Amino acid sequence: MAQWLKKNMSHRYEMVFVFANTGWEHHDTLRFANAVDKYFGLNLVWVEAAPRRATGKSSGHRVVTYETASRNGEPFEAVVAAYGLPNMTFQLCNRELKKNAMQSYAQSIGWKNRSYETAIGIRIDEMRRVNKETAKKERLIYPLVDMEPTDKQDVLAFFEDFDWDLGIPEHQGNCIGCFKKSERKLLTLYREDPSNFDFAIKIDQLYRNVGPNNVPGPRKMYRGFRSAQDLVDQFRATDDAYQAPTTDGGCSESCELFPTEAMEVV
């Protein structure tokens, strides 16, 4: 999407390309974002959320680089410390870690909220994720749906020629232990490397009592009202032949950025 917009729409828009790093992504995701930036000359701006809840404001941002970007969950932990653990009821991740951080950056360069369009890389085969009413209100556009219809196979074919392609299995994408991932993906991650859940267990233990809860007791991050430790204990007790049910498509299919002439490309 980024390279298509730069090639075909630069005459019409001032563009800023932004990557909001949560610190919990697979390290190859960061390498890939940097490679795309360098190859296509995007001048990518790397931002990380800086919570300001104590002042009554939404999260601000700090500008980092590929080299200085957090890789041990620091932005994610900072947001959790301020707002509590995310889960299917309290879906605060994208709001604070991505939407508000990027809007804060846009304001820092003189762009007022909703004075620009935000391009989001949802594909034509992901139309169920497009809310036209929200898009109109928040000035969101979907180039891979409306300008250059593109599906998953088109994306895979596009990157086949690049030896720096992302190349990680789909279940490892986005935040490693995301609570939106299906049970099967989470189990696969555990079997590949139990340390994939070390960070989730850490923030669970430290911040389980931060923020309101809709049931008695501490907040829990995973489906079935399970803590990270509950989930790991369950996985540890399962037989190697056990195949967890797939309850959803995972975070990559339900993790909504919006979070949301100039254009911000995210």
The more confidently predicted of residues 243 and 216 is 216
Name the burial class of residue 177, with classes exposed (0-12), middle (13-18) and buried (19+) by CB atoms within 10 angstroms of its CB.
buried
Going by their DSSP bridges, the two strands 14-20 and 262-265 should be labelled as parallel
**pLDDT at residue 164 tops 70:** yes
Q: How far is CA 101 from CA 20, 96, 260, in A?
A: 7, 6, 11
Q: How far is CA 233 from CA 187, 206, 225, 229, 242, in A?
A: 11, 18, 14, 6, 14
> Does the domain formed by 1-266 have CATH 3.40.50?
yes
User: What tens digit of pLDDT does each residue of 88-138 get?
Assistant: 999 999 999 999 999 999 999 999 999 999 999 999 999 999 998 999 999
* Predicted pLDDT of residue 260: 38
**pLDDT at residue 248 tops 70:** no
Average pLDDT over residues 71-96: 96
Domain boundaries, the chain: 1-266
* Predicted pLDDT of residue 259: 41
Which pair of tokens denotes residue 181?
């991932």
* Predicted pLDDT of residue 257: 59
CB 135 within 8 A of CB 119: no
Average pLDDT over residues 158-177: 87
The per-residue DSSP string of 161-177 comes to T-TT-----GGGSSBTT
Question: Using 50, 70 and 90 to split pLDDT, how confident is the model at 170?
Answer: confident
